[in-house]
């Protein structure tokens, strides 16, 4: 029986996840990384993407996060994200509408004064949400 680690995913609005996990995989800025109990402490920046963890019952859980930070300590991982939703809470219709808006902006056909970095970040969030919501595990 593996020893569990506490995983917390927190946004400025709320705590999205607070539970025990066997392993936590996160989208680090330099690539995906996993944290098990007794891991060496570290702090890292996260990209928009997917956090996966295996809960105490052995079930895989999938959560969308929009960029942030992770702090790993020997007994816990804390993820601070700009936004986060468990897979079941993702509103696909809303994500598709956000994708359409971002694509329109990036096409350059609509407005003349476009913040491309912001539009690309919105596109990235929408694509990840759609991908996560339609993933089968």
Q: Which residues contribute to the site for ligand ATP (CB under 6 A)?
A: 13, 66, 83, 85, 89-91, 94-95, 98, 122, 125, 129
As measured in angstroms, the least distance from the Cβ of 128 to ligand ATP is 9
Minimum CB distance to ligand ATP smaller for 72 or for 98: 98
Q: Within 10 Å of residue 118's Cβ, how many Cβ atoms?
A: 11
CB 86 within 8 A of CB 9: no
- Report the candidate in 104, 91, 88, 95 with the shortest Cα–Cα distance to residue 124: 95
Instruction: Choose between 94 and 120: whose C-beta lies nearer to ligand ATP.
Output: 94
CA distance 133 to 23: 21
State in angstroms the smallest separation of the CB of 30 from ligand ATP. 23
Smallest separation, CB 76 to ligand ATP (Å): 22
Q: Is the dihedral of CA 15, 49, 5, 86 positive or negative?
A: positive
| CB nearer to ligand ATP: pick between 38 and 135 | 135
Q: What are phi and psi of 61, to 5 degrees?
A: -120, 140
Comparison of 47 and 129: residue with beta carbon closer to ligand ATP:
129
CB of 46 to ligand ATP, least distance (A): 14
């Amino acid at each position: 029986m593996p020893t569990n680690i506490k995983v917390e995913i927190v946004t400025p609005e709320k705590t999205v996840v607070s539970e025990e996990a066997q392993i936590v995989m996160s989208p680090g800025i330099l690539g995906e990384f996993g944290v098990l109990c007794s891991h060496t402490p570290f702090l890292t920046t996260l990209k928009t993407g997917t956090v996966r963890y295996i809960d105490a019952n052995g079930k895989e859980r999938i959560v969308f996060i929009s960029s942030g930070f992770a702090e790993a300590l020997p007994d816990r991982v804390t993820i601070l994200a700009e936004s986060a939703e468990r897979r079941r809470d993702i509103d696909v219709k809303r994500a598709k509408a956000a994708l359409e808006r971002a694509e329109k902006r990036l096409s350059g056909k609509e407005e003349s004064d476009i913040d491309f970095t912001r539009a690309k970040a919105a596109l990235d969030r929408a694509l990840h949400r759609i991908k996560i919501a339609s993933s089968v595990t």
